[in-house]
């Protein structure tokens, strides 16, 4: 990753795929430097608090694609409404048996090559829509025991 970023920092701009991903929210990793691009994009998504969405080829020579959604870069998770919205969206592009959706991630396999970018962008927009995600860690409600303060003696040395 360091060599990848050093190579592109000399020019002053990130590679075209990363620039496009930063603008659209979706990374196309149908290339040879896939792991490096995913690491850099994942770090950027984590810093921005955005879901990480990317698509890749199923295998090296496959025409079909695989679309990924990763919410581990955000403080949120999918709600039931978001889960249902992703199921409805994916039914237009992928057979139900080729998709897997959980509260924190999703993967769709056997996506057509012409539909992969459009589907990934739709997934990003659907997840970001209000009501489709919620904070994964809810703040603790104050209770009577935790509100009590117990003094702790501090030893003072001369």
55 or 138, greater pLDDT: 55
What is the predicted pLDDT for the residue at 61?
85
47 vs 63, 75, 111, 132, CA distance in Å? 33, 11, 29, 21
Residue 107, classed as helix, strand or coil, is strand
CATH architecture of the domain covering 2-135: Roll (3.10)
What is the predicted pLDDT for the residue at 7?
54
59 or 142, greater pLDDT: 59
pLDDT band, residue 70 (cuts 50/70/90): very high
Q: In what order do the strands lie in the sheet with 105-111?
A: 26-28, 52-57, 65-70, 105-111, 99-101
Residues 81-85 have a mean pLDDT of 95
Residue 110: partners with Cβ closer than 8 Å, 6 or more residues away: 58, 64, 66, 94, 95, 98
d(Cα 38, Cα 9) in Å, to the nearest integer? 17
What is the predicted pLDDT for the residue at 5?
52
Q: By CB neighbour count within 10 A (0-12 exposed, 13-18 middle, 19+ buried), where does 150 fall? A: exposed
What is the predicted pLDDT for the residue at 107?
96
pLDDT digits (tens, 9 = 90+) for 4-60: 555 555 555 678 888 988 999 999 998 888 899 999 999 999 999 999 999 999 888
pLDDT band, residue 1 (cuts 50/70/90): very low
d(Cα 48, Cα 73) in Å, to the nearest integer? 9
pLDDT band, residue 94 (cuts 50/70/90): very high
Whether 89 contacts 81, CB under 8 Å: no
Residues 91-102 have a mean pLDDT of 92
What is the predicted pLDDT for the residue at 103?
93
pTM for the model stands at 0.76
Residues 71-100 have a mean pLDDT of 93
Helices 80-90 and 116-128 cross at an angle (nearest 10°) of 160
């Amino acid at each position: 990753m360091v060599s990848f970023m050093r190579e592109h920092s000399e020019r002053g701009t990130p590679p075209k795929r990363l620039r496009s991903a930063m603008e659209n929210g979706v990374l196309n990793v149908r290339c040879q430097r896939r792991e490096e691009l995913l690491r850099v994009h994942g770090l950027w998504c984590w810093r921005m608090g955005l879901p990480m969405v990317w698509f890749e080829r199923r295998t090296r020579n496959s025409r079909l694609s695989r679309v990924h959604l990763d919410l581990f870069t955000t403080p949120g998770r999918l709600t039931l409404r978001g889960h249902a919205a992703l199921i409805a969206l994916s039914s237009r592009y992928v057979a139900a048996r080729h998709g897997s959706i959980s509260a924190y991630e999703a993967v769709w396999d056997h996506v057509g090559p012409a539909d992969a970018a459009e589907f990934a962008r739709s997934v990003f927009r659907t997840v970001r829509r209000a009501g489709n995600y919620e904070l994964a860690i809810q703040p603790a409600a104050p209770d009577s025991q935790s509100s009590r303060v117990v003094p702790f003696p501090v030893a003072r040395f001369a």
